Amino acid sequence: LQVIWILAAFGDEHWTYEGELNPRPATYTDFSSHTGTSSPGRKIYVPHGYDQPGTEPLELHNNGHTVQLSLPPTLYLEGLPRKYVAVQLHLHWGERGSKMGSEHQINSKASAAELHIVHYDSDSYNSVGEAMKSPQGLAVLGILIEVGENENPAYEHILSRLHEIRYKGQKTSVPPFSVKELLPPELSQFFRYNGSLTTPPCYQSVVWTVFSQKVQISAGQLEKLQETLLSREREPAQVLEQNYRVPQPLNQRKVLASFN
Ligand code: BO1
Ligand code: ZN
């Protein structure tokens, strides 16, 4: 949860998940034990426009660190004091064959993968680039993903296309679909705290909302996520795997738990 500023020293050009700053095996901070603030009657957090498939195709991009889908600003969040509009979503996952790949953990337990839907405060800032440098400039939804019995058709909008963008830098175009299908059914139960971007430049600018309900994908779908993408533009190929940051010390942060 905490920023390690030294990561920013690597700059945007080249950085990796290897080494001392992201040690394996993972150490963790169990933030559920630091909660205690509940707020009955509080307006719940509802993504708006998420069930509208939209009209424009979306761009799916292998940026060498993750698979990222561009989102239209017609998607936004409600229940926060300002209007946060969507920019992109992306995923984090573990190494091939691992069921640990999430960046958040609940009750000390990591999930297989994690979806992030990134928004910025469009009331206060003209661009995401400006917003990402300011406290609470961004709002990211975190959705924990675990392996279940069935294939998850919603995630196939992304996973079935990965083979088209295997190399870093490749892009493809995805027909619009309802982003809401990617979320768990119960949106009123979540944890919220002020934290950072989990990759360089690691700015402390994110209002994090992590839903307590998880979504399921099949073992085959997880395998596809872990094995398809490559982190280099050309041979020699290197599989893009284990792109999650381990949990960081909570320090003095408060974590809100909403269980309306
Ligand atoms: S995350 O959700 O905390 N994993 C996360 C990490 C890094 C970014 C976004 C979310 N990076 C920034 C880029 C900007 C870009 C913005 C929105 O994402 O540094 O250049 O405009 O896509
Ligand atoms: Zn992320």
Please list the rounded mean pLDDT of every run of 10 residues in the chain (260 residues). Answer: 34 67 36 38 57 85 98 88 94 98 95 98 97 96 98 98 98 94 92 93 93 97 98 96 93 85
Closest CA to 183 of 58, 67, 54, 48: 48
Atom number, ligand 1, closest to the C-alpha of residue 140: 2
Q: Which atom of ligand 1 is nearest to the CA of 196?
A: 3
Let me know: does 87 contact 76? Beta carbons within 8 Å.
Answer: no
Check residue 191 and report its DSSP letter. Answer: E
Distance CA 169, CA 92 (A): 18
In angstroms, what is the span from residue 150 Cα to ligand 1's centroid?
31
Quote the CA–CA distance of 227 and 204 in Å, as a whole number: 31
Q: Quote the distance between the C-alpha of residue 215 and its chain's center.
A: 13
> Which residues carry out catalysis?
65
Is the distance from CB of 244 to CB of 94 less than 8 angstroms?
yes
Which pair of structure tokens corresponds to residue 179? 């982003």
Closest CA to 171 of 180, 162, 181, 159: 162
Ligand 1 centroid, distance to 201 Cα (angstroms): 8
C-alpha span between 113 and 99 (Å, rounded): 8
Residue owning the nearest CA to atom 10 of ligand 1: 197
Amino acid at 230: L
Question: What does the pLDDT read at residue 50?
Answer: 77
| Å from CA of 1 to ligand 2 middle | 12
- State the closest ligand 1 atom to the C-alpha of 206, by its place in the atom list counted from 1: 3
The residue whose C-alpha atom lies closest to atom 8 belonging to ligand 1 is 197
Residues with CB under 6 A from ligand 1: 87-88, 116, 118, 128-129, 132, 140, 197-199, 206
Mutate which of 118, 136, 209, 246 to test ligand 1's pocket (most atoms within 8 Å of Cβ)? 118
Give me the amino acid identity at 241: E
pLDDT value at position 54?
77
ipTM over 0.95: yes
Q: Among all ligands shown, which has an atom nearest to the Cα of 131?
A: 1
Task: Give the Cα separation of 88 and 54 in Å (integer).
Answer: 14
pLDDT value at residue 136? 95
Helix (H), strand (E) at residue 219: helix 219-227
Of ligand 1's listed atoms, the one at least distance from the Cα of 198 is 3
pLDDT at 45: 53
This prediction has a pTM of 0.89
